[in-house]
Chains A and B, each alone.
Chain A
Amino acid sequence: MKKRKVKENFMEGLFFIAAAASIFAVVLICFFLMANGVPAIGKIGLVKFLFGTEWSPSDIPPLYGIASMIVGSLYVTAGAIIIGVPIGLFTAVFLSKICPTKLYKIMKPGVDLLAGIPSVVYGFFGMAAVVPIFGNSIISGCIILGIMILPTIIGISESAIRAVPSEYYEGSVALGAGKYRTLYKVVVPAAKSGILAGIVLGIGRAIGETMAVIMVMGNQARMPVSLLKGARTLTGNIVIEMGYAEGLHREALIATGVVLFVFILIINLSFSALKGRKK
């Protein structure tokens, strides 16, 4: 009897430790990124680092300004949202309210598969199908990212739309409004905060995406000049240069990761806030 009690307590302790692992992981990640990245920001100077438009680590003295990458990331994310949100939202309405059951059984796994395709595969697709048309450019990045965030936006919007009580739809139709008018004037606005949460999550995906983007965007470290010219993102900067970077250059790349991490934390917080509002 006593032995059993000890065993019970031991296992409960083990379960507790397992549950604490995710806290431990987050603390460790924050600590190691900050400890390795923040000193570099101090050495370069916060303003020079964030707002400097020149990134040329091989110059003497080297220049470490990531403004062009921040702008590059923002451009390509905005473009992905412009492409992905309308298609995603309309598709979500289609899947939740219009689509015949038979077609749904094909489309739903299809959308899931779109989420499962690895980003390098998207990159290869982009290199062969999009780059020949638009070149290694911001536009190519926007198109590939727009496709990649589709499943996120579709999935979350679909469940938000499904959660709207059917009385909304029926009431509106009973008042004489057409089917689509009801869907877009009554049902979609009622699902607004869920859809917004989906868009925010899509923004997070787009900003954090690395491999597909560097394969289609050209990655020039300069202020973006046109949508048809190349640009570099924060994520791209890290992957491309980390292989050979040393000293302050390496630290500056880790600091780029810190900036990215802070962006993501802000996005995650707004996502949680939006999700909380829904309930």
Chain B
Amino acid sequence: MTIKKNKIKEKIFAILTWGAGILSIVVLLYIIGFILYKGVPYIKPSLFSLKYTSENVSLMPALISTIIMTLMSLLIAIPFGVFSAVFLTEYAKSGNRFVKIVRVTTETLSGIPSIVYGLFGMLFFVTFLNWGFSILSGAVTLAIMILPLIMRSSEEALSAVPDVFREGSFGLGAGKLRTVFKIVLPAAAPGIFAGIILAVGRVVGETAALIYTSGTVAQIPDSPFASARTLAVHMYSLSGEGLHMGEGYATAVVLLVLVIGINALSAFVAKRIGGYGKDK
């Protein structure tokens, strides 16, 4: 009797486990399929004209703004992120009080919701520093947001570099700085790069942190102090107007393709990390 009951229980849990696994992937495919189905019919050449008008609802300016926004925020976040990781792994003694505080604040930063970043960016960069609604305000806000991501992946990549590398370099008479730049950082490059690509994904998909920092102007920005909307903000604006939902879904398709590309690239780069230290 109990054996039979146990068998049934096993069956039920087998079904639940397999079911949930399959459901997760079906949900993903359904979302992608749905967005493609809704958006692809609206992809026309006029969506890619360089100037946005209320007739063509072009996404091209937003796409260019997205690229500018990504480059600017990376330009700020990468030096800070990588250098702080260098300090934490190569210079600071572990257990150091400063290191502990840095870890706590980094974790805090990574938990802050994007709308709170948006509020802060609006209060500090837009109003206090008087940069106005601008691509610069947006980029710096996003740079703070992706800082923990770049820090963590750089730190992981740096600490995965075997100590033999450092000892060998010191043994040959190189100084600490030289060892860091010529030996350790190059060896950790793929891991750092994979983290940076993930950060690109965050920037590309971000909306809430940008609406009140970089604003929603739909043209190509002509200076860092000009307002501009990224693709994600463009989509949100279209949904608010409610007149061009089809174009909104078409933009979603473009955004989705970007994100899938970014994820694939990150996975591809991350795969190469294992090679270092083994055969070199």
Contact = CB atoms under 8 A, between A and B. Distances in A.
Interface stretch (B31-39, B47-55, B164-172, B218-226): B31-39
Given A128-B38, A129-B34, A264 B113 contact: yes
A83 B180 CA distance: 47
B130 interface: no
Nearest to B29: A110
Contacts of B175: 4, 8
Q: How large is the interface on A (under 10, 10 to 19, 20 to 34, 35 or more residues)?
A: 35 or more
Instruction: Say what secondary structure dominates the interface of chain A.
Output: helix
B267 A112 contact: yes
A33 B123 contact: yes
A118 B35 CA distance: 12
Interface string B107-147: 11101111111111011100010000000000000001001
A113 B147 contact: no
Q: Which of B30, B79, B105, B148 has the most CB of A within 10 A?
A: B105
Interface in A101-121: 106-107, 109-114, 116-121
B263 A181 contact: no
A36 interface: yes
Given A116-B201, A260-B113, A271-B111, A91 B38 contact: no
A105 B170 CA distance: 41
B14 A180 contact: yes
A207 interface: yes
B263 A109 contact: yes
Nearest to A124: B252
Contacts of A271: 111
B72 interface: no
A181 B114 contact: no
B10 A181 contact: yes
Interface string A15-51: 1101111110110110011001000000000000000
A271 to B, nearest CB: 7
B114 A125 contact: no
B16 interface: yes
Contacts of A267: 111
B87 A18 contact: yes
12 contacts: A7-B177, A22-B84, A29-B120, A32-B128, A88-B20, A109-B267, A116-B201, A118-B232, A128-B38, A129-B30, A235-B115, A261-B116
